[in-house]
Chains A and B, each alone.
Chain A
Amino acid sequence: MGAHDRPPSKHHNPHAHVIHQPGRRLLFKIPLKFVWNKVAGHGKRSGNAALNLVSFIDFLITTVIFLLMSFSASGEITVDKNVKLPKAENVEDIIDAPMVAVNGNQILVDGTLAGSTRAIEELGRMQKIDELFNLLKNKRELWKQVQPNKPFPGVCILQVDQNVPALVVKSVFQTAAFAGYPNVSFMVGKLPKSG
């Protein structure tokens, strides 16, 4: 350390501003001895405190375990942005099946337009939705071609907006059943278990 091992002298050094010895600079201008001792590490307690890593690693491991427990390999299921799902408590886990989104204006099958909600409401009675029927039927036939040895599960999931009237829900439900999907599930938000 050389000159830095001593507190700065009160006498003025005319060459001090020209050449500086390398070393720590922080707090060295303060002429208080106890501060200088602390900076130089000559005091009773060192300026470099060792960090206890045990609690830090414990925290990291707990976080990793929590995130691994809540990790889902199947990824996020996209919900139509115009659909506000109702919430329920007695529910089951989502499975992989065709998604039929029903909002205030449209009916969509995996993002493809398959009918109009307004048209059903204006008609005022239950009806078979032809576009929806054809799209679901095509999906069923494709599934059977891809997996000819497996029995067709006949499950489809309806993402229905919470304010859509029962008439539209029943029409979509019945059309899905006609197209070979009798096991219809309604997508809902999960509520925590009460009591």
Chain B
Amino acid sequence: MGGVDVGEGGGKKKATNTDINMVPFIDLLMCTIAFLLITAVWVTNSRMNADAQVPGPPNPDKELTPQTPEKVLNLHIGETDFALVWKQGATVVSEVRVPKPPPGDSPIIRYSDLAKKIESEWNTNGSHRDPSDKKLDQAIMHTDNRTPFKEIIAVLDALYATKRKVKLPDGDKDLPVFNMTFSVR
């Protein structure tokens, strides 16, 4: 049993070494464990951001100045490969193709080669790098209408693998370098 030694007592009537009753303490621990086990959430789901790029209403007080268009990564999901095309307006800046790995037995699709290539492409052509720059580089996903959602998520996972530090009001945070939207016709 647990006990508290408070030294050699000089008194004769009461013993100075007192045993603490551990039973209520163990009971409390047991009740806490039971409560936490019952209320525990074991399945953890997460989310992946996308942005529909809807422009806000124009500010009438602000004078419109022509701006040079930013470089945008166009990610094409093909049958046998991926195409990473950097465009500035209508001008193609660079184009790289990454072969698609053959489908394996695993139900989870992962494109690690694509993630590495996207990182090297961003290091070459990425516009927003400074930690104080909160804006992210834009990626547009072009995909066939029949592509299953799990493949879209696998490509999105590869796209969001490259991260950079961004200074936010609540401290520095590692954020993906790209923000994705879908190409629609």
Contact = CB atoms under 8 A, between A and B. Distances in A.
A173 B50 CA distance: 9
| Binding site secondary structure of chain B | mixed
B62 interface: no
A190 interface: yes
Contact of A92 (B48, B53, B185): B48
Interface in B137-185: 143-150, 152-154, 156-157, 160-161, 163, 176, 182, 184-185
B33 A186 contact: no
A160 B149 contact: yes
Most B Cβ at <10 Å: residue of A53, A124, A170: A170
Contact of A86 (B36, B150, B163, B182): B150
Contacts of B40: 67, 70-71
Contact of B22 (A53, A77, A177, A190): A53
Contacts of B146: 165-167
Nearest to A102: B149
Given A94-B45, A162-B148, A165-B149, A86 B30 contact: no
User: How large, as a class, is the contact surface on chain A?
Assistant: 35 or more
Interface of B: 1-2, 22, 25-26, 29-30, 32-33, 36-37, 39-41, 43-54, 108-110, 143-150, 152-154, 156-157, 160-161, 163, 176, 182, 184-185
